[in-house]
Structures are given as C-alpha cells and as structure tokens.
Chain A
Amino acid sequence: MEPITRRHAIAGGLAIPAAAAFAGTAQAAGTTEIDLFFPVPVQGKLANEMKSLVDRFNGEHPEVKVTAVYTGSYDDTNLKTRAAIKAGQPPAAVIMSANFVREYVINGEVDPFDSLIEKDGKTPAAYMDNFWAALKPNATVDGRVYGIPFQNSTPLLYYSVDAFKDAGLDPDRPPVTWADWVKAAKAVAKPGGERSGLMFPATYDYCGWITSALVMANGGQYFNHDYGGEVYYNSPSAVGALTLLDKLVNQLKAVPPGVSDANACTSAFFSGRTGMMVLSTGSLSFVRENMKTPYRVAFLPKSVRNAATIGGASLILPKGNTPERQAAAWTLINWLTSPEISGHWSRFTGYFAPRRAAYDLPEMKQYLQEHPDAKVALDQLVYAVPWFDTYNTVAVRKAMEDQVQALLSGKTSPTDAAAAAQKSADELLRPYVEQTALKAVG
C-alpha cells in the first residue's frame, strides 16, 4: 500500500512541469499555492511538528506549495474557516473537528471527495476501506465522502497503579462494568479532597463527548446519526448515564464537584490527587511523558455494551476553490493520510492512526510493543461509536452540556437535566426539522 503515495508523488512531480512546458499558458513556476488551516488540539509542540511536516511535503512536491496556517482551537478553526468561506477566501484544505463535517455538508460549504477519488481509479467505498470502519460514519454523509480522517481518538480510562494498590485494588484488573467502576472510585477516593476516585473534563466539547460515550455504553444512541434533526437526550439510557454521574459526584463524592478541565485532570493525575481519569487517547503521549509513577489505561467501563466515541479531526475541502487548488489539496491530503505519515503523527501525538495500513509498518509494530497503552486505544476501536453531529452541532451539543454541568454542581437531578436538555435541543433543531422531516410533501 505505502509505495503508492511515493510513486504518486514522483509521477506528479514530473508530470506537472512537463505539462507546463507543452502548454505555454500554464503558470510560469508551475506550482500551485495552497493553504492548510490546522488547529492544535493537543499540545503546543504539535504546531511546530505540523510545520515541519508541511516543509517536508513541500520539499518532496515541487509542484505544490503549502502554507500551514495555525488557526487556534477546534472551535476557532471552525469559526475562521466559515468566515473565510463566506468572505470568498476559502482555504484549500482544513483539518476540521470530525463532528463539524456534517454541518458543513448541510450548509453546502464543502465539496465531496468522490470525484477526486474516482479520478485516481478507485471507488469511494474502496478508498474509505483504507481507514478504520469506525471512522466512516463521521466522514461520509449520504454515501458521499466529505472528510478524510487525519487524527482520531476515543476516550480512555487512565488509572494510577499506586492509587489502586493503596486502595486495595488489583491494578491488573481495571473496572470493566459500571458497578466495578463505582466500587473502584469509592475505594480510591480519600475524604477531604486528598484524592478523588475519578476525574474527567466537563468543559464544553469534552463534556458532550464523554456524556455521549456514557449514554451509548448504557445502550443508547444519544443522537440519530442518519438524520441531523433528532437527539435522544431524554431517553432511559441518557437518564441512566446522568444518574451514574450524579451518584459519583453528589452521593459518593468520589468525583470533585463542578466542572474540571483537561488540565486540571492531568495535573491531579500527575500529582496523585486522582486515582482515575477519563481522557482522550490523544493525551497518551502527554501523559506518558509527564506521569512520574506507573499508570495504565483501560477501556471505558460498560453498562449494557462497550462504547467509545470517536473524536479527533478530518481533512475537508471547503467549497469555492479552483480545480487546480483542489487537486493540489488532494495531493497534500493523500500524503498526510498515507500510512507512513499517519503512523508518524500517531506516535508523536498519541492519537491512533486512522489509516489501517499504518499499523503494518515495522516502526508502528515496534511502537505498540514498547507502549502497550497505545495498543489498548487501538483495541477499543472495535467498540467505537460515531461522534455527535447534528444540525447546529455546537448549540445542540451545549443543550446537554449545560445540564450535565449543572448536575455536576449539584443544581439539578438526572431526570430534570435530561428533560431540560431535550427541550432546548428540540427548539434548536426545529428550523431544520421543519425544512426536512416535517416539510409538507407535494
């Protein structure tokens, strides 16, 4: 699989100057300049790593000149991309939070990849088989490919070996079910805030991601993946998941009350002030580099079934670019998602590599052997479920997040929270529902 991209690169490099020589009208330099918007969802040095990757690409591909533009967080990147499209200056490619892709499709602001894939002599379905099947739902809409997975994650349970031993638990047997989980959190927690049993980030975005994983682990769907106008916030599976949180935080006091962010979780984990934390696989490298005492990772515990929400980002093609720019962006996207680069980025960040063939490369096999925690993240993929994506994704997501945050602060009950979240989500979805599902036919 891997030599294909190389050969492509070489062929492309030769073909374009030759074409330019024949067709005298082509640009003098024969290079297409494109820009790539990228967020840095993990840690700062990734920004530099991304720039050096793009430099390497530019060196290997004289026919394309890419400028990597750092665009803030996932949300800032979304805002800037949308504003740039509206202002008529669309970037050629964007690394976009995978759950925003659907909304771009609904708004008609992205082009599908299908024709580019077909031009390379593949069917879109065959092309998507290059990636883990779990990533497909957030990358395709209505059978067309709108996102090429670049860096992906699932939530993991990180736990401290010392805290488990101290609490009389066996670190080789992490909690598997919710009942085990509650028991472990209770055992690990020490009163007076000296050590919590469990922590997880509940800031916007993270909160919805983890909540949806819990609801799905409780057997639910959380949202209608096939139709962006429905969410299932007030379902038994959702109320059950909220009840678990209520129990851990408000009754057992095993989780600190209120909203913690990812930094608070890692700081507490590193300093032994929490025995477990739920965090993205994208944090693996950061935790590995900074945790001084032994730790392990495990699947997110299950209630009815194992479920791990997909997170991370895909590459998209904003609408309004010339065919030349799109072709150049396609070359870049193919390179960035090639097994070699995909694996390299995965080892550097902790994200799992979306490209399946990345794991056939020797350096990746060696990496998994040296770092069994990365293997757990990969194994959990079997239970991966799609990421929340609806019409007006952020606002609808926040409808539940606001309620969860209130619950974590002890200001509401699980049933009230579920009902209130459903009510405000339905209101937010109504314009879309009225244009689609409820639209009078004929």
Chain B
Amino acid sequence: MRADWRLLCALLIAATAVLWAVPFLWMAMASLRPGVPADIASLTPAGPFGLSNFAEAWRSGSFPLWYLNTLLVAGGILVGQLVTITAAGYAFARLSFPGRDLLFAMFLLQLLLIPPLLIVPNLGTLVSLRLYDTLPGIMAPYFASAFGTFLMRQTFRAIPRDYEEAAMLEGASIPVLIQHVLVPLARPGLIAFAIISVTAHWNEFLWPLMAVSSPKNQVLTVGLASFASGAEAGSAWGIVAAGTFLVAGPLLVLFLVFQRRFVSSFVFSGIK
C-alpha cells in the first residue's frame, strides 16, 4: 500500500516535470531549426537542424555588452541588497526600539504595491539624482528589499541567542557579531534570497526599458525584445528561441551547476 502511494507520487511528479519541460524542449528544438519551418509546433521534427539561428541572433544585437550590463545590474543590486537586508533584518529581529513593529509592518506594506505604479515617481527621483539613463539608475529602486528584510528577520530569529551572547561575552560589537556569527549561520537564507533576486532582475523588462535609453546601457531582456517582439507580423520563431536561450542560458547553467545547494537552501529557509 505504502509503496503504491510512493509510486503514484513519483509518477505525478514525473508528469509535472515533463509538462514543465515541454516549453524548454520546444524552445531547444525551434532554436536549432533554421528559417521558418511550417511544422514549427512539432516537438519531433525531421530537420534540417543547424546553429544558424544562434549566429543570426548573436549578430542581431550586442550580446557581450548586454551580458556585461545585465551582470552589473543584477550583481550590483544583489550586493546592495545583501548589505541592507542583513542590517535591517538584524534590527527588526534583535534590536528593540520604539515603533519597531509598526515600522516593520509599514515595510511589509511595500510588497502590496505593484511596481508599474511607481514608474513615474521613480523616474522623477532618478532625474533629480542625475541617475536617469545610467546603470545605477536601474539598480537604485531595488537596493532595499521588503521581502529580503522579512526573510532575514525570520532567519535571524530562528538562530538561538546563545551564539550571540557567547560572542558578546567575548566583547564582539554588533557589526562584528553580524559579520562573524550571524551571517555564516544565515547563509542558506541569503543564498535563497540571492537566487530570487538575481532571477528577478536578470529577467526584468519594464523598469530597465523605462530607466535607460542609451544603447550602451541596454540590458539583455530589452535587447532580446528588439528582435523578438512582433505585433503586426509573425515572428521568426527559430531566432526568437535562440535569442531566448542566449538570455536565459547563463541562469539555466548556474542553476544546473549549483542545483543541490540551491535546493538545500530553499528547504532550510522554508521558501517553497
């Protein structure tokens, strides 16, 4: 009986995995088929196959520049966030000050705002900070993260106070304490947050489209859209698929390489 259940579960999970993989498989297939084949929807086409779509997609844009910019943006945001969420998470978890819970609730309220609502005010701020049309301008609104602060607060609270008390007896100051005691213990939470943050900002389209104009500041998603979107006509699916692979590729590889670590971080931090 028990074995039956396990088998059923395994089958269900396998079916879900296949379902989830179909778009990727199709994308892989389409990207390898030059031209605009008539049976483009087929998952088992006869061919011919080739890499010309990748060559064409690569030629269509400045991918090296877009990779660099996206890396700088996603990386820059992450570095900023790790500092602010660790500090803020610690403050909300451990320090007691008047209005702490109210402040924390207000912080969380941010999660309710849909980002497009803030585009115009944020652009206004960027202009007055002279960050309009710069990479730091794309990053600026994300340096603080309500979700990250919440996550770190919960992570810190789950760590027994004994460690901190021991360190304090040794004369550690709060910065030293955070850096040498809490951060190592909270690493799984930080990694889980890093994955979410990098994925979100790597894939983000609307805000980078709004915040920068110069071609030299363009990021991958906006660049991809310049040859992938077609409102009044059909798209050359193969080239779109190849371009999408070029954009999503680094993240896919990263995930495959660090899969085990990522999964254990998520399990540890309780994000599912």
Chain A residues whose CB sits within 8 angstroms of the CB of B123 once the complex forms: 83-84, 86-87, 89
B18 to chain A, nearest CB (A): 24
Chain B residues whose CB sits within 8 angstroms of the CB of A72 once the complex forms: 205, 209, 222, 225, 229
A41 interface hit (Cβ, 8 Å): yes
**New A-B contacts (18) at CB < 8 Å, excluding given A40-B230, A83-B120, A279-B233:** A40-B229, A41-B230, A41-B231, A42-B231, A44-B235, A44-B239, A45-B227, A47-B226, A68-B215, A70-B218, A86-B123, A87-B126, A89-B127, A89-B132, A267-B234, A282-B232, A286-B233, A350-B233
Chain B residues whose CB sits within 8 angstroms of the CB of A68 once the complex forms: 215
Pick the interface stretch among A228-236, A245-253, A258-266, A353-361.
A258-266
Pick the interface stretch among A3-11, A57-65, A73-81.
A73-81
Q: Which residue of A lies closest to B205 (CB)?
A: A72
Q: Report the bound CA distance from A291 to B120 in whole Å.
A: 43
Q: Report the bound CA distance from A35 to B236 in whole Å.
A: 29
Q: Report the bound CA distance from A4 to B127 in whole Å.
A: 40
Contact across chains for A206 and B231 when beta carbons are under 8 A apart: yes
A187 interface hit (Cβ, 8 Å): no
Chain A residues whose CB sits within 8 angstroms of the CB of B235 once the complex forms: 43-44, 263
A314 interface hit (Cβ, 8 Å): no
Q: Which of B119, B214, B226 lies in contact with A44, CB distance below 8 A?
A: B226
Contact across chains for A290 and B232 when beta carbons are under 8 A apart: no
Q: Report the bound CA distance from A35 to B39 in whole Å.
A: 41
A67 interface hit (Cβ, 8 Å): yes
A287 to chain B, nearest CB (A): 8
B36 interface hit (Cβ, 8 Å): yes
Candidate in B36, B206, B234, B239 with the most chain A CB atoms within 10 angstroms:
B234
Chain B residues whose CB sits within 8 angstroms of the CB of A37 once the complex forms: 213
Chain B residues whose CB sits within 8 angstroms of the CB of A265 once the complex forms: 234
Known: A89-B132, A290-B234. A44 touches B40 (CB 8 A): no
Q: What's the tally of chain A residues with a CB closer than 8 Å to chain B? A: 50
Chain A residues whose CB sits within 8 angstroms of the CB of B267 once the complex forms: none
Known: A43-B235, A283-B233. A70 touches B127 (CB 8 A): no
Q: Report the bound CA distance from A265 to B231 in whole Å.
A: 12
A143 to chain B, nearest CB (A): 30
Contact across chains for A67 and B120 when beta carbons are under 8 A apart: no
Q: List 8 A-B contacts (CB under 8 A).
A: A35-B213, A73-B231, A79-B210, A83-B123, A86-B124, A206-B232, A283-B232, A286-B233
Q: Which residue of B lies closest to A280 (CB)?
A: B232
A147 interface hit (Cβ, 8 Å): no
Q: Report the bound CA distance from A257 to B29 in whole Å.
A: 27
Q: Which of A71, A87, A153, A266 lies in contact with B120, CB distance below 8 A?
A: A87
B93 to chain A, nearest CB (A): 37
Contact across chains for B232 and A262 when beta carbons are under 8 A apart: yes
Chain A residues whose CB sits within 8 angstroms of the CB of B240 once the complex forms: 44
Chain B residues whose CB sits within 8 angstroms of the CB of A262 once the complex forms: 230-234
A69 interface hit (Cβ, 8 Å): yes
Interface size class of B (residues with CB under 8 A): 35 or more
Chain A residues whose CB sits within 8 angstroms of the CB of B209 once the complex forms: 71-72, 76, 80
B228 interface hit (Cβ, 8 Å): yes
Contact across chains for A290 and B132 when beta carbons are under 8 A apart: no
Contact across chains for B233 and A282 when beta carbons are under 8 A apart: yes
Q: Which of A67, A84, A286 lies in contact with B234, CB distance below 8 A?
A: A286
Q: Which of B119, B213, B237, B239 lies in contact with A69, CB distance below 8 A?
A: B213
A76 to chain B, nearest CB (A): 6
Contact across chains for B233 and A73 when beta carbons are under 8 A apart: no
Chain B residues whose CB sits within 8 angstroms of the CB of A311 once the complex forms: 232
B51 interface hit (Cβ, 8 Å): no
A91 interface hit (Cβ, 8 Å): yes
The 7 closest A-B pairs by CB, nearest first: A44-B227, A266-B234, A271-B38, A87-B123, A283-B233, A290-B36, A282-B232
Chain B residues whose CB sits within 8 angstroms of the CB of A227 once the complex forms: none
B229 to chain A, nearest CB (A): 5
Q: Which residue of B lies closest to A265 (CB)?
A: B234
Q: Report the bound CA distance from A266 to B233 in whole Å.
A: 8
Known: A44-B226, A80-B210, A292-B38. A88 touches B124 (CB 8 A): yes
Q: Report the bound CA distance from A270 to B235 in whole Å.
A: 12
B60 interface hit (Cβ, 8 Å): yes
Contact across chains for B222 and A69 when beta carbons are under 8 A apart: no
A205 interface hit (Cβ, 8 Å): yes
B41 interface hit (Cβ, 8 Å): yes
Q: Report the bound CA distance from A246 to B4 in whole Å.
A: 49
Contact across chains for B124 and A87 when beta carbons are under 8 A apart: yes
CB contacts under 8 Å to B, within A270-322, are: 270-272, 279-280, 282-283, 286-287, 289-290, 292, 311
Chain B residues whose CB sits within 8 angstroms of the CB of A267 once the complex forms: 38, 40-41, 234, 237
A224 interface hit (Cβ, 8 Å): no
Known: A76-B209, A292-B38. A43 touches B226 (CB 8 A): no
Chain A residues whose CB sits within 8 angstroms of the CB of B127 once the complex forms: 87-89
CB contacts under 8 Å to A, within B227-264, are: 227-237, 239-240
